[in-house]
Structure 1
Amino acid sequence: MRHILIRAGTVEIRARLLATPTADRIWSALPIRGSVQTWGKEVYFRTPISHDLEPEARIVVNKGEIAFWPDGDAITIGFGATPISKRGEIRFTSKCNVWAVAIDDVDQLKSVYPGEQISVVEADSEGRAWIAGHPMQETHRASHGGIHAAMCSSGDEGGTAG
């Protein structure tokens, strides 16, 4: 089973990759670094990869799901309502590919701000980050359990995130 660690400031969220083509593409591109952008209760960041929509792509995600937004080549993590959400949902501007599920609480993302640096690295099942096949000296664990990814754009809702 493949795991990643997402870090931004003091926030660390572990996640388990799903068996999808998007997950495979992201896994092969690790480590990924970017600059945080926000849209309501959603954090997203551009990546150096591109990928098409998958048949199961969705505009509404569940808390704890991590998605890839093909329209913006971005990883998206929703942890609450966006400006276009309907009551009780996490809704993106367009469809996204769900490729991972958070192990830790995505509500931690409330403390992440636009412009902050974010990274996604390979991790073992305990959440220890790995770089070039070796464990990193210093690792931390997030204190809760659940991640949500969501900033996607599907023409059926109009608008763009950000």
Structure 2
Amino acid sequence: MFVELISSEDRSREGTDVGNKITITAGNVRVLVELNDTRSAKSVWEALPFDAEARTWGDEIYFSIPVKMGLENGQEVVDKGDVGYWPPGSAMCLFFGPTPVSRGGEIRPASAVTVLGKIVSDLGQLRQVRDGMHLKVTRAEE
């Protein structure tokens, strides 16, 4: 059964509901992510809050999450600011630029990911995140 993360009434009150937004914090870095309406994003929402350890791969930060699921509408190329789920590593991925396997101007994950949402805050601060940094992933607060 599929349940929307926010109702159409909540969407009409833009900016007043944080029912689909999460915060990822690493040291002084704090990004806001707006989750989409996929089953995968809902599974991540239900698992919150959790801690993780950051890994970097080019301009991608990824980290294991306590959710295991298959690929949903898999994408082999993503957009800058996309947040994905990578099934082989049970990992959430934050894409803010090219990875080692990107070609041309594209952003390419190691393999297909499920896009869970979009980073809606400054992407530049993600360059401060280093391998091994502690991450906290929580539901966003108003």
TM > 0.5: yes
Figure out how many residues of one structure are paired with residues of the other and give that number: 124
Deviation at 1:22, TM superposition (A): 0.7
Name the residue aligned to 2:94: 77
- Which has the larger share of helix? 2
Q: Which runs of 4+ in 1 moved over 4 A?
A: none
Deviation at 1:65, TM superposition (A): 1.1
Distance 1:108 1:20 in 2: 27
Deviation at 1:49, TM superposition (A): 1.1
2:83 counterpart of 1:61? no
Matched residue type, 1:97 = T
- Which has the larger share of strand? 1
Contact 1:64–1:105 (Cα < 8 Å) also in 2: no
Distance 2:78 2:42 in 1: 20
Structure 2: tracts of 5 or more residues without a match: 1-5, 7-19
Deviation at 1:107, TM superposition (A): 2.3
- TM-score norm. by structure 1 comes to 0.74
2:93 counterpart of 1:105? no
Contact 2:48–2:139 (Cα < 8 Å) also in 1: yes
Deviation at 1:106, TM superposition (A): 1.9
Deviation at 1:5, TM superposition (A): 0.6
Structure 1: tracts of 5 or more residues without a match: 129-162
Please list the CA deviations of residues 74-110 of structure 1 after superposition, one character each: whole Å capped at 9, or x if unmatched. 0001111111101111111100000111110222110
Please list the CA deviations of residues 129-157 of structure 1 after superposition, one character each: whole Å capped at 9, or x if unmatched. xxxxxxxxxxxxxxxxxxxxxxxxxxxxx
Of all paired residues, the percent bearing the same amino acid is 38
Taking the TM superposition and a 5 Å limit, the aligned residue runs for 1:151-162 are: none
SS of the aligned residue for 2:110 comes to strand
Contact 1:34–1:46 (Cα < 8 Å) also in 2: yes
Distance 1:30 1:110 in 2: 24
The alignment's C-alpha RMSD in Å is 1.0
Distance 1:114 1:78 in 2: 15
Taking the TM superposition and a 5 Å limit, the aligned residue runs for 1:96-135 are: 96-124=113-141, 128=142
Distance 2:43 2:96 in 1: 24
Contact 1:34–1:117 (Cα < 8 Å) also in 2: yes
Distance 1:88 1:105 in 2: 20
Name the residue aligned to 1:4: 22
SS of the aligned residue for 1:60 comes to coil
Name the residue aligned to 1:150: none
Contact 1:65–1:77 (Cα < 8 Å) also in 2: yes
